[in-house]
A and B are shown apart, each in its own frame.
Chain A
Amino acid sequence: MLHFFVRRVLLGVLVLIGLSVLTFIITRVAPGDPAALWVGPRASVAQIERATVTLGLNRPLPVQYAIYMDDLAHGNLGLSIETHRPVSSEIASYLPASLELVVSGIVIAILLGLPLGVLAAMRPGGVFDAVARLLAVLSVSVPTFWLAFLLQIVFFKDLGLLPLAGRVSNLVIALDPITRITGFMTVDSLLQGNWVAFFSALRHLVLPAVTIAAYPFGLIVRMVRASLLDVIALDHVRLLRALGQKRYTIAFRYALKNALPPTLTVIALTFAYSLTGTFLVESVFNWPGLGNYTAQAVITNNYPAVMGVTIVIGVIYVVLNLVVDLVIAGIDPRVRYV
């Protein structure tokens, strides 16, 4: 187990170093002069030259990379070329908004997808199975940004039930502002007992969260169904059946546990995928998250910001994969000896 753990951690570190090199190269060969952006549009040539020296842009690339990694080891992601503020604090202010969105989306996907997948596998070819397969195919095939527009047309324009975009209403910002604690607006407003703000935040969260949920929902239904069908063919399930256990008990209590590892992997992978894929959804719902921040940074060639986001997402991705591997090794002892 220890050997397995050490190997996985080392591999994760290797992936992160490779990721940083790759991003560094890509952002540095991009056209455009960061020094000119740093000093602003009305700067003189001399000012730009001075900024080039301050930012260390006149040094050889490998040296620049070494300096960057040294700073990174001390928890310093550098200053944003655009705002001159530390990238780490900017990411910290945008990340919670994206996380709130992605976590809610994944939770919705699990709550709906898991039971539907189990019901589908219990009677292959039955009604539930047909509905589940159709829904699963449609939800992994729908363009997220288009689904977002459809939801806006139906729930905002036609039914008038939910708000169009943003995180809370302007009225709440003016009259019942939320003090920032975790950065999750729903959690913060609850902690402060601010019910008006809580319901506003919740109502704003519904449409984007449902949009995010579509893709993982489809994957979870397919994965649960397929792996449960494999498990049901095993002898111990036949034994349970012979012992007279109820079908629902067998499916949900016994078989589901064996079918969970591949589903967990899929959930972890889609979590990381959704985190980077949020910009399509964030741009439609005007959600002030990491996706919008990154898109802006890429357009202005704000390389410390792009590097910072890539590294933060890379770390989340690697840690998540590691955790899932360990959990699976915990559930399924066979994995440890592969």
Chain B
Amino acid sequence: MGRTLRFYVRRNLMTSIGLCVLAVFVLTAILAPWIAPYPGDAAGLVHPAHQLLPPSWQHPMGTDELGRDLFSLVLLGSRVSLGGGFVTIVFALLIGVTLGLIAGYAGGWLDEAIMRFTDIVLGFPSLLLAVAIAATLGPSLDHAVLAMALSWWPWYTRLIRSQVLSLRNADFVQAARLSGRSPARILVRHILPNAVTPVVVQASMDLGSVILTLAGLSFLGLGAQPPTPEWGLIIANGQNYVLTNWWYVTFPGLAILLAVSALNLVGDGLNDVLNRRERGVL
């Protein structure tokens, strides 16, 4: 066991580092309310006497203009940012996989209609859609998540559909059909389990981009609203202090960079393992 592990780590150093960092972030997100030194600061407490202090042992990331501990805000913010990204991907998967299964299995005009609609949504600039939805429904974290899910699903529809197309005439599917199973049951019980792997890999690789987009929307004021501690929102609050108090925007941004990098490294690793191809040497 020990030797296998050592072998794996040496072969996939980057993925292993990504996994470790990701594990730390997930643990932080779960335990944040208990390990944050000043959990009250995210709930509206202010300390005018401590405003804009540089990093120190009491405040490892410094404090903001209201004297709140930035380290606590960043820790608690991991729940909002990682959680928001995760929920977005789950929603996008639900829509995308359902439509892709139907399009691939039904074929004909239904397939054509679904895929052309997918093309249209893909052609829609996603950030613009998110901005339009936030403007229509009012800015909030939930609406930002909804908007992102609504612009992200087409990728999964395409992937699932191509998988279904290659499976729908397979022997085991024919057998299920001959024994009188309903199309819905065939899709869910027989095709889906065999078609889902590439989509899950893709989704894990997308999680980082979704978290980045969410941070961007919050930065523009269209995502999480104060006093919710969200990484993009903390940076937006700090933008007036960029040149005078460097720590304010630096640390929340570093948290985004680390978390998203870790997710991308793990996604790449998964992709390498599941889509192994013969590679040449030059």
Interface residues of A (CB under 8 A from B): 11, 14-16, 18-19, 22-23, 26-27, 29-31, 121-124, 133-134, 137-138, 140-146, 149-150, 152-153, 156-157, 229-234, 237-238, 241, 247, 250-251, 255, 272-273, 275-277, 279-280, 283-284, 294-295, 298-299, 301, 306, 309-310, 313-314, 317-318
Q: Which of chain A's residues have a CB closer than 8 A to the CB of B123?
A: 15-16, 18-19, 314, 317-318
* Min C-beta distance of A62 to chain B, whole Å: 18
Complex Cα gap A229–B275 (Å): 14
Q: Is the CB of A146 within 8 A of B249?
A: yes
Whose C-beta in chain B lies nearest to the C-beta of A310?
B128
Complex Cα gap A315–B135 (Å): 23
Q: Which of chain A's residues have a CB closer than 8 A to the CB of B14?
A: 133-134, 137
Given contacts A19-B120, A229-B280, A298-B132, contact A141 B253 (CB under 8 A): no
Stretch of B35-43, B184-192, B257-265 on the interface side: B257-265
Given pairs A146-B235, A146-B257, 11 additional interface contacts (CB within 8 A):
A14-B120, A26-B133, A124-B281, A141-B257, A142-B257, A146-B252, A153-B250, A233-B279, A284-B239, A298-B131, A318-B123
Whose C-beta in chain A lies nearest to the C-beta of B242?
A149
Q: Is the CB of A157 within 8 A of B124?
A: no
Q: Is the CB of A276 within 8 A of B235?
A: no
Stretch of B88-96, B175-183, B196-204, B212-220 on the interface side: B212-220
Q: Is the CB of A29 within 8 A of B264?
A: no
Q: Which of chain A's residues have a CB closer than 8 A to the CB of B128?
A: 276, 294, 309-310, 313
* Min C-beta distance of B166 to chain A, whole Å: 15
Q: Is the CB of A146 within 8 A of B120?
A: no
* Min C-beta distance of A32 to chain B, whole Å: 9
Indicate if B119 sits at the interface (CB-CB under 8 A).
yes
Q: Is the CB of B133 within 8 A of A152?
A: no
Q: Which of chain A's residues have a CB closer than 8 A to the CB of B239?
A: 149, 284
Q: Which of chain A's residues have a CB closer than 8 A to the CB of B249?
A: 146, 149
Q: Is the CB of A141 within 8 A of B261?
A: yes
* Min C-beta distance of B263 to chain A, whole Å: 8
15 contacts between A and B (CB under 8 A): A14-B116, A15-B119, A121-B282, A141-B257, A142-B260, A143-B235, A143-B256, A145-B216, A234-B280, A250-B282, A276-B128, A280-B219, A280-B220, A309-B128, A310-B125
Indicate if B117 sits at the interface (CB-CB under 8 A).
yes
Complex Cα gap A277–B209 (Å): 13
Q: Which of chain B's residues have a CB closer than 8 A to the CB of A121?
A: 282
Q: Which of chain B's residues have a CB closer than 8 A to the CB of A301?
A: 135
Q: Is the CB of B282 within 8 A of A251?
A: yes
Instruction: Tally chain B residues at the interface, Cβ within 8 Å.
Output: 49
Complex Cα gap A313–B188 (Å): 39
Q: Is the CB of B216 within 8 A of A280?
A: yes
Whose C-beta in chain A lies nearest to the C-beta of B248?
A149
Q: Which of chain B's residues have a CB closer than 8 A to the CB of A123?
A: 282
* Min C-beta distance of B118 to chain A, whole Å: 10
Complex Cα gap A309–B129 (Å): 12
Contact with A along B24-41 (1 / 0, CB 8 A): 000000000000000000
Q: Which of chain A's residues have a CB closer than 8 A to the CB of B281?
A: 124, 232
Residue from the list B119, B127, B136, B277 in contact with A30, Cβ < 8 A: B136
* Min C-beta distance of A147 to chain B, whole Å: 8
* Min C-beta distance of B193 to chain A, whole Å: 28
Q: Is the CB of A276 within 8 A of B132?
A: no
Q: Which of chain B's residues have a CB closer than 8 A to the CB of A145?
A: 216, 219, 232, 235
Q: Which of chain B's residues have a CB closer than 8 A to the CB of A133?
A: 14
Q: Is the CB of B232 within 8 A of A143?
A: yes
Q: Is the CB of A237 within 8 A of B282?
A: yes
Complex Cα gap A277–B279 (Å): 35
* Min C-beta distance of A233 to chain B, whole Å: 3
Given contacts A19-B120, A299-B135, contact A141 B279 (CB under 8 A): no
Q: Is the CB of B131 within 8 A of A149?
A: no
Q: Is the CB of B280 within 8 A of A233?
A: yes
Indicate if B5 sits at the interface (CB-CB under 8 A).
no
Given contacts A143-B212, A294-B131, A295-B220, contact A14 B280 (CB under 8 A): no
Complex Cα gap A299–B135 (Å): 7
Complex Cα gap A30–B232 (Å): 25
Q: Is the CB of B220 within 8 A of A279?
A: yes
Indicate if B85 sits at the interface (CB-CB under 8 A).
no
Q: Is the CB of B265 within 8 A of A241?
A: no
